[in-house]
Chain A
Amino acid sequence: MLNIIVKDLLEYVDIEESAITEKTKPATDLHLNSYDYICLVGKLEDDLGITISESDLKGFTTLGDLDEYVQKKMLQ
């Protein structure tokens, strides 16, 4: 699932794909701002057919956190 998140993320940041890992922090490492972040979340919802609630967003520090959350959502 991380590869889908990274693919979507690359639409918003100018960085080599190989530099992005599950430990990457979108806000501090990639300087992804809130608008781009909410767009990324919306794109993941659209691509994967899931709903990510606002209250869950505060739990995502790294892309690994987001990946784990998305995987759980896909199983529901």
Chain B
Amino acid sequence: MIYIICSKGDRFITAEDQTDMSQHLIRTGLSGEYGIDIGNDDIIRNAWGKPFLRDHPDTYFNVSHCTGGIALSISPFRTGIDIEKVRPFSVMTARKILTDNELDTIKNSPCPELDFFRLWTLKESYIKALGTGLSYPLKKISFTIDQNSNIATNLKGCMFGIFENEKDFVVSVCYLNRNDRLKETLIYRLLS
């Protein structure tokens, strides 16, 4: 299941709001979907800070937030998710994390900001699924996205999905060791 909460217009979700909402979303999702009720001690972290369920090694979750948005993925597959608000991006950062082909895509795109954050969130969802954090060399991962939002990558044995909210927010999700078609239920809530 994939849960996405976005703020409407320019409404700002504070850092405290994000933490509270993330925790509420994780508890509600795990309880509703898997019947798992968790306490504060039930979540452990690996060396890079990725959270896992201590007593449920076959149930994975991952949460992401940005200004105004929160996304959560819960799955029997190792999963990573990333949400970003589409906005002007740093060219310096693009050169640091994108392949030459991806940079060309951005350069020739009618919507470079949208395409940049599509690529960023896809890469980030993969390293979040791996649980290695930013120590993974992002330039070694490459993606192309066609006009129908089909995603091609040089990575083997993983599946990606991408969701967009009227081009304000982009959410990418990754599942490791999975090759079937994405058929996750998407629960989306827009805060007024």
Contact = CB atoms under 8 A, between A and B. Distances in A.
Interface of A: 27, 30-31, 33-35, 37-39, 42-43, 46, 54-58
- 10 pairs of A and B residues whose beta carbons are closest in the complex: A31-B15, A58-B135, A57-B134, A42-B92, A39-B90, A42-B93, A39-B93, A54-B137, A55-B135, A57-B135
B76 interface: no
Contact of A31 (B19, B84, B92, B97): B19
A57 B138 CA distance: 13
Contacts, number: 51
A35 B120 contact: yes
Contacts of B143: none
Nearest to B83: A33
Interface in B10-62: 15, 18-19, 47-49
A37 B134 contact: yes
Interface of B: 15, 18-19, 47-49, 64-66, 82, 84, 90, 92-93, 96-97, 120, 124, 132-138
Contacts of A34: 82, 124, 133-134
B17 to A, nearest CB: 10
Contacts of B66: 33, 35
A58 B48 contact: yes
Given A38-B93, A42-B93, A54 B64 contact: no
Nearest to A61: B49
Contact of B134 (A30, A31, A43, A58): A58
Contacts of A31: 15, 18-19, 65
